[in-house]
Amino acid sequence: MRSKLLVHQKKAFEFIWKNIAGSVEIGEMDHTSGRA
C-alpha cells in the first residue's frame, strides 16, 4: 500500500498513525488499547 502513496500522503498517513498507535513501528506500538 505505501508504495502507491505520494510523499505528502505518506507523511499524513504516518502522522495520523502515530497519533492512533503511538508509533509506526509494530514493536513499539502501545498494546494497552485492547487491540492486539
* Whether residue 36 has pLDDT greater than 60: no
- The position carrying cell 508509533 is 23
Confidence of residue 24 (pLDDT cuts 50, 70, 90): low
Instruction: Give, rounded to a whole angstrom, the gap between the first and last alpha carbons of the chain.
Output: 21
Confidence of residue 12 (pLDDT cuts 50, 70, 90): very high
State pTM to two decimals: 0.43
Place of cell 495520523: 16
Could you tell me which residue, 2 or 5, shows the higher pLDDT? 5
Mean pLDDT of the chain: 73
Half-sphere exposure of 5 (CA within 13 A, CB side): 10
Nearest residue to 33 via CA among 21, 25, 23: 21
Instruction: Give the pLDDT band (50/70/90) at residue 8.
Output: very high
If we measure between CA atoms, which residue out of 3, 11, 1, 35 comes closest to residue 21?
35
